[in-house]
Amino acid sequence: MMRAVVTGASGFLGVALVNELLNNGYEVTAVVRPFSPNMKRLIRHQKLNIVELDMADISQLKSKTDGCYDVFFHFAWSGIRGDERNNKQLQETNVVSSKGAVHAAHDLGCKVFVSSGSQAECGITTDVITEETPLNPICEYGKAKVSFMTYAKDFCEKNKISFVWARVFSLYGAMDYKNSLINYALDLMLENKPVSLSPCTQMWDYMNVKDAVRAIRMVSEERCSGIINIADGNYRLLREYILQMKEIAKSESELLFGEINSSGNELVNLCPDISILKNIGFTPQISFECGIRELIDLKLKGVS
């Protein structure tokens, strides 16, 4: 039986990964912030052990667990949205705590260390993003991700740990941030209210979070190494996603494209290449239509 540690386990991506691992027979230790209100998101399961521990104290993890582990998934990271992405002090704190996480993985005997990356590492680009795309971070969040990736890769190589940098692009699904574009637009559409939007003329790639965590589990089991793009691979105009959502919701909402200033976001294009994922046998299983229908059902039940 595989044993895994997941930090950031009560977050959007973390909860989905914990469920994916449990459903595939893993024993999971979920690390969550003490008194986190999101802890209730984690299901009760005989193979799930919840450890309340601040990332600043991650070095104490070994004393709060027993035995060795196979894989360490590090998803805890603060300041991933809004102005906090350019909070240099906060992002540097993330780097410090993340270094503690990779050391904790070594202390626990893990053979694989997986951490989540971001398109922000590549900065603004209109080209297809491969694992070889030059790193050119602009915001402090992206710079911090690159800094930790460089450190973790070197540490893992020196300690014979397989290192996977799961570069996650744009996810959606249950328990996502309530003000994400999809949640914002869909909530208004379900009430047939006008939806104020930017021009939405950039290319985008939406991936269902369930597909994302399946991909992440697969790359960890295949002992892939280095950067791996985690995306759906079927990118298209962001506007097309919005129009499809309206159609699926059978909404009468007026879509006010261009009413919101894009603030430069229209320059950000997500065109990820997922050749490496395909080479290990991964294909997305949840179409955007099916994913949105499921999300609508959850919203109508009041559990999204």
Q: What is the pLDDT of residue 302?
A: 82
Q: H helices then E strands: how many in the chain?
A: 8, 13
Q: How confident is the model at residue 303 (pLDDT cuts 50, 70, 90)?
A: confident
* Cα 58 to Cα 67: distance, rounded to the nearest angstrom: 16
Task: Tell me the pLDDT tens digit for each residue of 260-292.
Answer: 987 655 568 899 999 999 999 999 999 999 999
pTM above 0.75, yes or no: yes
Instruction: Provide DSSP, 209-233.
Output: HHHHHHHHHHHHHTT--EEEEES-S
Q: Convert the pLDDT of each residue in 113-149 to its tens digit.
A: 999 999 999 999 889 999 999 999 999 999 999 999 9
Banded model confidence at residue 223, pLDDT cuts 50, 70, 90: confident
**Residue 195 confidence (pLDDT):** 99
Tell me the domains of the chain and their CATH numbers. Answer: 3-170+206-230 (3.40.50.720), 173-205+234-270+286-301 (3.90.25.10)
Q: Is the predicted pLDDT of residue 82 greater than 60, yes or no? A: yes
Contact criterion met (CB below 8 Å) for 206 and 232:
yes
Report the percentage of the chain scoring pLDDT > 70.
Answer: 98
Q: Output the pLDDT for position 66.
A: 93
Q: Which residue has the tokens 């050119």?
A: 136
Asked if residue 212 lies in contact with residue 16, where contact means CB atoms within 8 angstroms, the answer is yes
- As a whole number, the mean pLDDT across the chain is 96
Axis crossing angle, helix 209-221 with helix 12-23, rounded to the nearest 10? 60
pLDDT tens string 12-53:
999 999 999 999 999 999 999 999 999 999 988 999 999 999
Residue 294 CA to residue 70 CA, distance in Å, equals: 33
Paired tokens of 112: 């694989």
Q: Does 103 have pLDDT greater than 60?
A: yes
pLDDT at 170: 97
Q: How far is CA 194 from CA 177, 268, 302, in A?
A: 21, 25, 21
pLDDT at 172 over 60: yes
